[in-house]
Amino acid sequence: MYSIEFDTDIIKGVELIDINLLNPHEKIIKKKKTKLTKFIKSFDEYYIISSILCCHKTHVIIDGHHRYFALKELGFKNVPVTKVDYSSNLISTGGNGNDIPKDQIIKMGISNDLFEPKSTQHSIYCSRSKSWHPIILLSSMFKIDTKN
Protein backbone atom coordinates (compact mmCIF):
# COMPACT_ATOMS: atom_id res chain seq x y z
CA MET A 1 0.00 0.00 0.00
CA TYR A 2 2.71 2.52 0.90
CA SER A 3 6.20 2.54 -0.59
CA ILE A 4 7.77 3.23 2.80
CA GLU A 5 7.41 1.68 6.24
CA PHE A 6 6.17 4.02 8.98
CA ASP A 7 4.14 3.99 12.17
CA THR A 8 0.62 3.64 10.76
CA ASP A 9 -0.82 5.30 13.88
CA ILE A 10 0.26 8.57 12.24
CA ILE A 11 -2.68 8.23 9.83
CA LYS A 12 -5.83 9.39 11.62
CA GLY A 13 -8.23 9.18 8.70
CA VAL A 14 -8.65 9.19 4.93
CA GLU A 15 -11.85 10.81 3.75
CA LEU A 16 -13.62 13.48 1.76
CA ILE A 17 -14.13 16.65 3.80
CA ASP A 18 -15.61 20.10 3.23
CA ILE A 19 -12.93 22.16 1.47
CA ASN A 20 -13.73 25.14 3.71
CA LEU A 21 -12.52 23.22 6.77
CA LEU A 22 -8.93 23.18 5.46
CA ASN A 23 -6.40 25.84 6.47
CA PRO A 24 -3.46 26.53 4.15
CA HIS A 25 -0.22 27.81 5.68
CA GLU A 26 1.61 28.73 2.45
CA LYS A 27 0.96 30.84 -0.59
CA ILE A 28 1.16 29.07 -3.93
CA ILE A 29 2.92 29.55 -7.23
CA LYS A 30 0.01 30.85 -9.33
CA LYS A 31 1.37 29.51 -12.62
CA LYS A 32 1.62 26.00 -11.14
CA LYS A 33 -1.94 26.19 -9.77
CA THR A 34 -3.27 27.47 -13.10
CA LYS A 35 -1.64 24.57 -14.97
CA LEU A 36 -3.02 22.05 -12.49
CA THR A 37 -6.51 23.57 -12.71
CA LYS A 38 -6.47 23.38 -16.53
CA PHE A 39 -5.14 19.82 -16.39
CA ILE A 40 -7.90 18.63 -14.05
CA LYS A 41 -10.54 20.40 -16.18
CA SER A 42 -9.25 18.61 -19.29
CA PHE A 43 -10.62 15.27 -18.04
CA ASP A 44 -14.15 14.51 -19.23
CA GLU A 45 -15.41 12.32 -16.40
CA TYR A 46 -12.92 11.87 -13.59
CA TYR A 47 -9.37 12.50 -12.46
CA ILE A 48 -7.14 10.51 -10.09
CA ILE A 49 -5.56 12.81 -7.50
CA SER A 50 -3.36 12.43 -4.42
CA SER A 51 -5.13 13.35 -1.20
CA ILE A 52 -4.25 16.57 0.58
CA LEU A 53 -2.38 15.93 3.83
CA CYS A 54 -3.57 17.87 6.87
CA CYS A 55 -3.19 17.96 10.64
CA HIS A 56 -6.03 15.88 12.08
CA LYS A 57 -6.65 18.37 14.91
CA THR A 58 -6.44 21.74 13.14
CA HIS A 59 -6.98 20.86 9.46
CA VAL A 60 -3.88 22.89 8.59
CA ILE A 61 -2.62 21.67 5.21
CA ILE A 62 0.74 19.92 5.47
CA ASP A 63 1.08 18.94 1.80
CA GLY A 64 -1.13 19.76 -1.18
CA HIS A 65 -1.56 23.52 -1.29
CA HIS A 66 -1.67 23.63 -5.10
CA ARG A 67 -4.20 20.77 -5.17
CA TYR A 68 -6.29 22.58 -2.56
CA PHE A 69 -6.34 25.92 -4.41
CA ALA A 70 -6.96 24.26 -7.80
CA LEU A 71 -9.88 22.20 -6.48
CA LYS A 72 -11.28 25.26 -4.69
CA GLU A 73 -11.11 27.29 -7.91
CA LEU A 74 -12.87 24.48 -9.77
CA GLY A 75 -15.73 24.63 -7.28
CA PHE A 76 -15.20 21.35 -5.44
CA LYS A 77 -17.13 21.33 -2.16
CA ASN A 78 -15.53 18.16 -0.76
CA VAL A 79 -11.90 17.18 -1.26
CA PRO A 80 -9.87 14.06 -0.47
CA VAL A 81 -7.67 14.34 2.60
CA THR A 82 -5.38 12.16 4.64
CA LYS A 83 -5.41 13.35 8.24
CA VAL A 84 -2.13 12.84 10.09
CA ASP A 85 -0.89 13.17 13.66
CA TYR A 86 1.22 16.25 13.02
CA SER A 87 2.65 16.16 16.54
CA SER A 88 4.51 12.93 15.77
CA ASN A 89 8.31 13.21 15.89
CA LEU A 90 8.32 10.97 12.79
CA ILE A 91 7.13 13.98 10.77
CA SER A 92 9.80 16.60 10.13
CA THR A 93 9.63 20.14 8.80
CA GLY A 94 13.29 20.08 7.84
CA GLY A 95 15.04 19.49 4.59
CA ASN A 96 15.18 22.81 2.81
CA GLY A 97 17.50 24.57 5.26
CA ASN A 98 14.63 26.63 6.65
CA ASP A 99 13.27 24.46 9.44
CA ILE A 100 10.12 26.18 10.69
CA PRO A 101 8.74 24.74 13.95
CA LYS A 102 5.44 22.87 13.64
CA ASP A 103 3.68 25.11 16.16
CA GLN A 104 4.56 28.14 14.02
CA ILE A 105 3.19 26.39 10.90
CA ILE A 106 -0.06 25.60 12.73
CA LYS A 107 -0.31 29.18 14.00
CA MET A 108 0.19 30.51 10.48
CA GLY A 109 -2.46 28.19 9.03
CA ILE A 110 -5.03 29.09 11.65
CA SER A 111 -4.34 32.83 11.30
CA ASN A 112 -4.63 32.82 7.48
CA ASP A 113 -1.36 34.77 7.35
CA LEU A 114 0.52 32.64 4.82
CA PHE A 115 4.20 31.83 4.39
CA GLU A 116 5.74 32.31 0.97
CA PRO A 117 5.40 29.39 -1.50
CA LYS A 118 7.48 26.30 -0.72
CA SER A 119 8.64 27.71 2.64
CA THR A 120 8.18 24.36 4.34
CA GLN A 121 9.24 20.89 3.32
CA HIS A 122 7.68 18.05 5.29
CA SER A 123 9.17 14.57 5.53
CA ILE A 124 8.17 11.24 7.06
CA TYR A 125 10.63 8.84 8.66
CA CYS A 126 10.89 5.40 7.04
CA SER A 127 11.71 2.69 9.57
CA ARG A 128 12.95 0.33 6.85
CA SER A 129 15.49 2.64 5.20
CA LYS A 130 16.15 4.62 8.39
CA SER A 131 15.85 7.83 6.39
CA TRP A 132 13.45 10.69 5.69
CA HIS A 133 11.19 10.80 2.62
CA PRO A 134 8.72 13.33 1.16
CA ILE A 135 5.50 13.27 3.17
CA ILE A 136 3.36 13.06 0.02
CA LEU A 137 4.10 9.32 0.21
CA LEU A 138 1.37 9.17 2.89
CA SER A 139 -1.25 10.43 0.43
CA SER A 140 -3.97 8.14 -0.83
CA MET A 141 -5.19 8.17 -4.40
CA PHE A 142 -8.75 9.36 -5.02
CA LYS A 143 -11.01 9.36 -8.04
CA ILE A 144 -12.76 12.72 -8.28
CA ASP A 145 -15.65 13.45 -10.60
CA THR A 146 -14.73 16.26 -13.01
CA LYS A 147 -18.28 16.78 -14.25
CA ASN A 148 -19.49 19.93 -12.50
Question: Using CA atoms, how far apart are residues 93 and 75, in angstroms rounded to an integer?
Answer: 30
- Tell me which of 5, 26, 73, 116 is the catalytic residue: 26
Question: Using CA atoms, how far apart are residues 94 and 96, in angstroms rounded to an integer?
Answer: 6
Question: Using CA atoms, how far apart are residues 96 and 39, in angstroms rounded to an integer?
Answer: 28
- C-alpha gyration radius of the chain: 15
Enumerate residues 6+ apart whose C-beta is below 8 A from 29: 66, 117, 118
Decide the pairing of beta strands 131-134 and 61-63.
unpaired
Active-site annotation holds for 26? yes
> Which residues carry out catalysis?
26
